Structure 1
Amino acid sequence: FITHPAAFLGFLTLVQWIYITSLIFLLLHYYGIAALGFTVANIIASHQFIFYKGTFDFLYKPKKGYNAIGIINPKKEVRQQIIISGHHDSAYEFRYMRTTPRLYRIRVASIILSMVLSLVIGWLIVVNAYWFQSHTAHIVFMVIIVLLGIANMQMLFFKSKNATPGAGDNLIASAITAVMAKIFSNYRPDYTRLIFVSFDGEESGLKGSKAFAKAYRECISSMPTYHFNMDSLYKPELIKFLTSDVNGFVKLSNEFAKQCVTIAHSKGHTATLFAMYPGTGATDAAPLAQAGAIATTLIALPTEVEKQDSVYHTMNDTTEHIEPEVVQATIGILYSVIEFLDKEIKGCPQILIKHQ
């Protein structure tokens, strides 16, 4: 598939320069142009990083991405299918995860807030300049927007040029996917087709899973299709199953996530549910959920980085920070989920399966 890997985080620099240019227009009293600049900056940032739309990818150089896909058919007729996945690309280092991890969420929140408020204040300056003409209000608005600009400047230093080793995020999940494919090549389910995928381009805006969802949309909608995605595996006590994705704007299967938690508990693991919220990012479960799959993602990383140490998106994301127990737990949970779903579908009449 064709992707534009530099586009996803490329907005960090692009938006910042639009912001600075808009600020200059404000100082030159071109209030309308400045407000339009703040609007454009918000549209680009929200489309690229908040909603993962990739609307402005065309501004960056295209490259080829590669998903690795393997399919194992069941012993008997196919009544359902389960997609098991990880992703094999690694992220750029997030500088603030290395330098100020305890303040990471605050810094991300301040960037998002500065973008939204700059849009509001920019248009308030326009309204005041052409209708109310209050000098005091103008001074207050200008001071606020300059302070917002200081917070916004953090975007210029958010990403370093270093690519992380990506052991926990997310090569371990791709390795587990390959191991599970090997296991089930010898122990095929009765009625469940297994599709094993290692996605490319997750860190540049879910590009591999989007390409897969587009190519396999008809296959996904043809029968009950589950998606068990894995991402960022570090410690077994941190296992969570996602009920939402893409910064909270895409719903995953709450019921499937609960089933996975129940299975994890039955195997002695302290798994919980987790809902994404703005600033937490996205996983490859989202595009497949949007294509009709019953999807969730298993994660096992700190979600409260101000309280817990994390190597996520840093140069320390190496194998020694992946506890062997989390690998064993993930394999055990996944095996049991496949076994459970195959037994569940066994007694389901075909007429119900086709209309499920």
Structure 2
Amino acid sequence: MSFFLFRKRSKPPSLAPEQQEHRRQKIETLKAGRLAALTLSFTNELIEKYGPRLAGSDASRQAALQIQAAYEPFCDQSETEVVRIDTTFHSFPLQLALYLYPVILVLLLIGLPYLGLLLFLAYLWYAARTLYFYKPLGKLSKPNVEGVNVHAVLEPQGEVRHTLLFTSHHDSAPLFRYNKLDRISYAKKVALPILLFFLSGLFNAMHLITELLEGRLFAFSLPPLGMGILCLLLLGATPLLLPLKNFYLQEGSPGAGDNLVSVGMTVQLARYFHWKKKSCNDPLSHTRLVFCSFDGEESGLEGSKAWYQKHKEEMKGSLVLNFDAIYHADKLTFLERDINGTQRLSSRLARRCVQIAKDMGYEAVSESIPRLAGGTDAGRASLAGLEATTLTSVAWDDRTKPSVYHTAGDVVSAIDAKAVEMALSIAIRLVELVDSDRLWEVDEMQGPAKKEVESEEPELVFTKLTHR
């Protein structure tokens, strides 16, 4: 298959030897810029064709099949795998709080505060384990749909010494019924119910302490009159917790930046290295590339969890660069911690990627994902024992930028094309360094020797990616 992108050009004048390297890099720069445009076009095409893609939905499965078809011309093999997904991963803990709330208050009113407190603490433990640590209890996690994971492999010319994974996800997030930007409504529908639930546990703890001090813990003891009245009022306020039952809509975000554009990037990276191999006779020497698109990321990272469990042994020793939420060119971030900051990623890889970006003239940082911001598929890779990091460029706390993450406004026009170009160029450079066994050389060299090698490195021109 031929692409107009890679059409033959008229033969240029011969270059002096010292100019050859510069010319080669400039051609690659133009390719990277064009690949970014193809990425955005691919993203828009899938959104127009399938719309929102809730985990395990028919739209998500159909998108997975088209993603596999996009990989096939550029890779030596491509596969799909069925994965079971629990779509209630985030919603069930919220619904459970609604039902436990009156029970906890009734236990206090009948003089059993120790049972009420135990139930409250057990729920907090379960909710934290599920929503914060992403370690749901197997007995309470009930997969109810089938999703589809996709992966493709591009083999090197010689013996495989390195394996590098580029990962992403094609499912999109369910929309929230309540918008944080409408602060009054959000306070009434979300913050108030959570506050009431915590008060139910607090009152049980207070009465339990009173009984301990009075030496009648297991004796029948009604709460004091004032506390009893407050408990009755809280019990009467149970309907105020009803919004927790329908916190999520049955409708999904278009999911352009989170995270279909990342899928498009993996497809275009496959295209690029296939072109290098077939059209330029410049294949990778010893680096196997694996491109993945997971389902169920928005349901507790369940797609990547299943994939890494199945492929853990064959992927041993691999490096993983996950792409997630690529929006803003001035927010390039490589994650050192994932899953609400509880899961370590590879700080070494994240910081090396930052250095690669800076060497190319880009501003980038490495840091932890914010608390309560959720997790990415790199967390599952790390749990499988792989060196992994996520490249993201979302404005976590920058109110000067539009917040489209997990909203109906997450469309292609919300993505900065330059951010996509920069991410692609960093990924290309990462592959080149891995294949030439020079990825970690900055760690191994110090002082004058390191400076001498740096001065010998040809200057990269990826900073001009937007000059198409």
Q: Same fold (TM over 0.5)?
A: yes
The answer for the alignment partner of 2:427 in structure 1 is: 334
In structure 2, relative to structure 1, the CA distance for the partners of 1:129 and 1:347 (3 Å cut) is: closer
In structure 2, relative to structure 1, the CA distance for the partners of 1:346 and 1:298 (3 Å cut) is: closer
- Classify the secondary structure of the residue corresponding to 1:211: helix
- How do 1:97-136 residues align onto structure 2 when only pairs under 5 Å count? 97=179, 99-100=181-182, 122-132=204-214
Q: Name the TM-score, length of structure 1 as normaliser.
A: 0.84
The answer for the alignment partner of 1:323 in structure 2 is: 416
Structure 2 gaps of 5+ residues are 1-82, 277-282, 442-468
Q: Name the TM-score, length of structure 2 as normaliser.
A: 0.65
Aligned partner letter, 2:262: A
- Classify the secondary structure of the residue corresponding to 2:315: helix
The answer for the alignment partner of 1:208 in structure 2 is: 303
Q: Deviations over 1:77-123 (max 9, x none)?
A: 11111110110000011344554489999x99998888778656634
- Classify the secondary structure of the residue corresponding to 2:355: helix
In structure 2, relative to structure 1, the CA distance for the partners of 1:59 and 1:74 (3 Å cut) is: closer
Residues 81, 195 of structure 1: 8 Å contact kept: yes
Residue 153 (structure 2) pairs with residue 71 (structure 1): yes
Residue 209 (structure 2) pairs with residue 92 (structure 1): no
- How do 1:174-253 residues align onto structure 2 when only pairs under 5 Å count? 174-187=263-276, 188-221=283-316, 224-253=317-346
State the Cα RMSD in Å: 3.5
The answer for the alignment partner of 1:278 in structure 2 is: 371
Residues 246, 283 of structure 1: 8 Å contact kept: yes
Aligned partner letter, 1:33: L
Mapped to 1, the partners of 2:265 and 2:315 lie a distance apart of: 22
Aligned partner letter, 2:293: S
Aligned partner letter, 2:204: G
Aligned partner letter, 2:387: I
Mapped to 1, the partners of 2:203 and 2:431 lie a distance apart of: 52
Mapped to 2, the partners of 1:305 and 1:341 lie a distance apart of: 34
Higher helix share: 1
In structure 2, relative to structure 1, the CA distance for the partners of 1:347 and 1:31 (3 Å cut) is: closer
Residue 262 (structure 2) pairs with residue 173 (structure 1): yes
In structure 2, relative to structure 1, the CA distance for the partners of 1:35 and 1:309 (3 Å cut) is: same
Mapped to 1, the partners of 2:432 and 2:197 lie a distance apart of: 47
Aligned partner letter, 2:93: F
In structure 2, relative to structure 1, the CA distance for the partners of 1:97 and 1:341 (3 Å cut) is: farther
Q: Deviations over 1:43-101 (max 9, x none)?
A: 22112211111215745452212111001111111111111011000001134455448
Count residues in correspondence.
344
In structure 2, relative to structure 1, the CA distance for the partners of 1:227 and 1:117 (3 Å cut) is: farther
Mapped to 2, the partners of 1:314 and 1:120 lie a distance apart of: 34
Residues 220, 291 of structure 1: 8 Å contact kept: no
Residues 68, 197 of structure 1: 8 Å contact kept: yes
Cα distance, 1:283 vs structure 2: 0.3
- How do 1:154-165 residues align onto structure 2 when only pairs under 5 Å count? 155-156=244-245, 158-165=247-254
- Classify the secondary structure of the residue corresponding to 1:344: coil
Cα distance, 1:325 vs structure 2: 0.9
Mapped to 1, the partners of 2:324 and 2:431 lie a distance apart of: 18
Residues 79, 345 of structure 1: 8 Å contact kept: no
Residue 112 (structure 2) pairs with residue 17 (structure 1): no
Residues 227, 294 of structure 1: 8 Å contact kept: yes
Mapped to 2, the partners of 1:46 and 1:164 lie a distance apart of: 25
Residue 126 (structure 2) pairs with residue 33 (structure 1): no
Aligned partner letter, 1:40: A
Mapped to 2, the partners of 1:347 and 1:32 lie a distance apart of: 56
In structure 2, relative to structure 1, the CA distance for the partners of 1:279 and 1:307 (3 Å cut) is: farther
In structure 2, relative to structure 1, the CA distance for the partners of 1:300 and 1:113 (3 Å cut) is: farther
Moved more, 240-249 or 269-278: 269-278
Residues 93, 159 of structure 1: 8 Å contact kept: yes
Residues 233, 300 of structure 1: 8 Å contact kept: yes
Moved more, 184-193 or 253-262: 184-193
- Classify the secondary structure of the residue corresponding to 1:335: helix
Moved more, 46-55 or 6-15: 6-15
> 322, 343, 355: which one pairs with 2:436?
343
Cα distance, 1:155 vs structure 2: 4.0
The answer for the alignment partner of 1:353 in structure 2 is: none
Mapped to 2, the partners of 1:171 and 1:326 lie a distance apart of: 14
Q: Which has the larger radius of gyration?
A: 2
Residues 15, 45 of structure 1: 8 Å contact kept: no
Mapped to 2, the partners of 1:333 and 1:14 lie a distance apart of: 44
